[in-house]
Structure 1
Amino acid sequence: MLVDSHCHLDFPDFDGERPDLIARAKDAGVDLMVTICTHIRKFPQVLAIAEEFPNVFCSVGTHPHNAGAERGIPAEEIIALSQHPKVVAIGEAGLDYFYDKAPRDAQAEGLRIHIEAARQTGLPLVIHARDADADMAAILEDEMGKGAFPALLHCFSSGRDLAMKGVELGLYVSFSGILTFKRSDDLRAIAKEIPADRLLVETDAPYLAPQPRRGKRNEPAYTAMTAAVLAETRGVSEAEMARQTTENFFRLFQKVPRSLAKTGSAAA
């Protein structure tokens, strides 16, 4: 059993074929998915998909690209929306200095608000970090000093220092199809260093399809391709990688019922 810990099933790329998409994922051994919210104001659409499919869960939050447009939404509102049984995470929130689609102060403000929501609810914060390693590390260290919160660095493509700081602070690290790209040697070296009990896999679908599907639309079924490369990188079997990342998922995403794990695929 595998889990796609981060996809965007509400995106129009998947309109009209979500049942088939989820069926293909199950055929590939990907039995659970978390569809990630990027606009709190569009959360109802995200939640509707999670409610429609028993093996799909969701998050609630504002992507850093939208931090300016959704500035001022308080932690209390995020917390209230997170009470739904299908909402199992906060975010994604973070810092993106590559595109800089929102003012950096708005991104940082939004990140800290989402951290507070994660701290109060105990739900994991899904962190987006791109070209902002130093500022991200500083905010995470500062906020962790105010009180612990569960979190993961999703679709990790940053430098080793941020990965190790995340591990030091108790975060998990999730790898996407980027790990499979030919020029991702440095990223694979980082993946080899992450403690086994902190690893997750994801697609970030519809983006970042792994080799050999690179350049095409990504989908949850392709989680298996990334997991296979992660297993090869770390020198373990694909079955062991599936077991470990699934166990890690349930440990972090504690609101997802363990009863959904296949017998023997994750420790009880």
Structure 2
Amino acid sequence: MLVDSHCHLDFPDFDEERDQIVARAAEAGVRTMVTISTRVRRFDAIRAIAERYDNIFCSVGTHPHNAGEETDVTVEELVRLSEHPKVVAIGEAGLDYFYDKAPRDAQAQGLRRHIAAARETGLPLVIHARDADDDMAAILEDEMGKGAYPALLHCFSSGRALAMKGIELGLYVSFSGILTFKRSEELRQIAAELPVDRLLVETDAPYLAPQPWRGKRNEPAYVRHTNKVLADCHAMSEEDMAAQTTENFFRLFRKARRPEAG
């Protein structure tokens, strides 16, 4: 069994064949998926998908690209929306200095609000970090000093220092198809250093399709390719890594229901 801990099934890329996408994931052994919120103001669409499929859960939050559009989202609103039984995480929120689509102060303030919601609810915060390692590490450590919160560095492609800071703070780290790219040897070296009980896999679909699908639309079924490379990093079998990342997922995403056997 595998879990795709981060995909975007509400995106228009999947509108014409969402049922088939979910069916192909099941055929590939992907029995649980989390479709991730990027805008609180579009949460209804995310929630409807999670409600439609037994094995799909969702999050609620504002992506850093959209932080400037949703400065009015409060901790209280995030907490209230997270009470829905299918909401298993807060986010994704974070810092993205590569695209800089939102003012950096709005990104940082949004991140801190999402951390507060994760702390209050006990739901894991899904963290987006790109080209912002130092500021991200500083905020995560500062906020941990105010009280512990569960969190996940999603689609990890940052430097070793941020990965190790995340582990030190008790966070989990998730790898996407980037791990399979030929140019990602340094990332694979980082993955090999991390404790196996903190690792997750994801697709970030429809983006970042792994080898051999690179350049095409990604989908949850392809998470098995990332799992294989992560297994190689730790000299484990694919089956053992799948079991480990699945166990890690349900330990972190405590509100998600395990699928029934069979």
TM bin (shorter chain): over 0.9
Q: How far 1:73 moved relative to its partner?
A: 1.0
2:16 corresponds in structure 1 to 16
2:152 corresponds in structure 1 to 152
2:76 corresponds in structure 1 to 76
Query: 1:53-96 deviations in whole A, cap 9, x for unaligned?
Result: 00000000000000000012110000000000000000000000
Cα distance in structure 1, aligned partners of 2:32 and 2:113 = 28
Please tell me the residue identity of whatever aligns with 1:83.
E
Runs of 4+ in 1 over 6 A off after TM superposition: none
Cα distance in structure 2, aligned partners of 1:261 and 1:43 = 27
1:193 corresponds in structure 2 to 193
Cα distance in structure 2, aligned partners of 1:36 and 1:77 = 17
Answer with 93-102 or 70-79: which moved more.
Answer: 70-79
Q: Which consecutive residues of structure 1, in runs of 5 or more, have no partner in the other structure?
A: 264-268
Aligned residue pair count: 262
Q: Which consecutive residues of structure 2, in runs of 5 or more, have no partner in the other structure?
A: none
Cα distance in structure 2, aligned partners of 1:126 and 1:83 = 17
Cα distance in structure 1, aligned partners of 2:83 and 2:17 = 28
2:175 corresponds in structure 1 to 175
The 5 Å alignment of 1:206-221 reads: 206-221=206-221
Q: How far 1:261 moved relative to its partner?
A: 5.7
Q: How far 1:247 moved relative to its partner?
A: 0.2
Q: How far 1:262 moved relative to its partner?
A: 3.8
Cα distance in structure 2, aligned partners of 1:43 and 1:115 = 18
Please tell me the residue identity of whatever aligns with 2:220.
P
Cα distance in structure 2, aligned partners of 1:81 and 1:105 = 24
Cα distance in structure 1, aligned partners of 2:132 and 2:252 = 24
2:26 corresponds in structure 1 to 26
Q: How far 1:15 moved relative to its partner?
A: 0.4
Please tell me the residue identity of whatever aligns with 1:236.
M
TM-score (norm 2): 0.99
Cα distance in structure 2, aligned partners of 1:261 and 1:176 = 26
1:251 corresponds in structure 2 to 251
1:266 corresponds in structure 2 to none
Q: Aligned in 2, Cα 1:261/1:192: closer, same or farther, shift over 3 Å?
A: farther
Q: CA RMSD in A?
A: 0.7
Please tell me the residue identity of whatever aligns with 1:58.
C
